[in-house]
Copies of this chain bind each other. A is one copy, B any other.
Amino acid sequence: MLQKIPSLNQLVHELSRLPGVGPKTAARLAYHILRSPDDFVQALREALKGVKEKIHECPECFSFTEEQDVCHFCKDMMRAQDSICVVEDPADIERIESSGVFRGRYHVLHGAISPLDGISPQDLKIQALLDRLSPGPEGEIRVTEVILALDADLEGDTTVLYLAKILKDMNIKTSRIAHGVPIGGDIDYIDYRTLGRAIENRVQV
């Protein structure tokens, strides 16, 4: 039947381009949308328009923002100016903020170095990060500490190694977030690589 309703096919096609949405899920969503009231569909269309028209990258940290100029993190003078947390994606900032532990600035790389996917340091916001880390016009040190909060995968590790080397030469205190057993995690169920890292990075009590 689907092939006889072109509009429905079209919506299934568009929805199935979303991540994690296969043809069956897309068809289920499309039928749901078809049965939904007009105002829901209108609200969804407006929301889609809104994110594309109103949101832009912060020129300072490259996170997403709806503010006129820089984002509210870069604008917030109550946050530490000399500490930058480097993340892969804007969504990561939200997770870190919810921990409530970090109160400095952020910098979004928009990805990680991945030779296999053809992503080199030039494709990421690495030069912009180095510009932020370099001394000010009168030679004053602006940033003293960088925390690398990148994913614990091959690409994240590669990016950490790449940045650590450069930052060491710049004399900036650099750390990466710890890997280990998750809080509430049962050691029985932790993979051996995580457990190995947790033992290596043991903390004195």
Within 8 Å by CB of A14, from B1, B19, B43, B71, lies: B43
**Bound CA span A182–B91, Å:** 43
Are A25 and B20 closer than 8 Å at their CB atoms?
yes
In the complex, whether A163 has a CB less than 8 A from a CB of chain B is no
Cross-chain contact A7 with B55 (CB below 8 angstroms): yes
Partner of A47, one of B4, B13, B91: B13
Across the interface, A5 reaches (CB within 8 A) one of B4, B31, B64, namely B64
Q: Which residues A109-167 have CB closer than 8 A to chain B?
A: none
Instruction: Determine whether A65 belongs to the interface, using a CB cutoff of 8 Å to chain B.
Output: yes
- Contact present for A19 and B32 (CB under 8 Å): yes
Interface of A is mostly: helix
Most chain B CB neighbours (cut-off 10 Å) among A1, A20, A71: A1
> Given that A1-B97, A45-B49 are contacting pairs, would A28 and B34 also be in contact in the complex, using a CB cutoff of 8 Å?
no
Counting chain A residues whose Cβ lies within 8 A of the other chain, the interface size class is 35 or more
**CA of A22 to CA of B19, assembled, Å:** 14
Residues of A within 8 A of B (CB): 1-2, 4-8, 10-11, 13-15, 17-21, 25, 27-34, 38, 40-41, 43-55, 63-66, 71-73, 89-91, 93-94, 97
Query: With contacts A1-B73, A7-B51 known, what are 17 further pairs, Cβ within 8 A?
Result: A1-B93, A1-B97, A4-B65, A4-B66, A7-B50, A7-B53, A7-B55, A8-B51, A8-B66, A11-B47, A11-B51, A14-B47, A17-B40, A18-B29, A33-B52, A34-B52, A45-B48
A-B contact list, 6 entries, CB within 8 Å = A7-B53, A7-B55, A15-B44, A31-B91, A34-B52, A34-B64
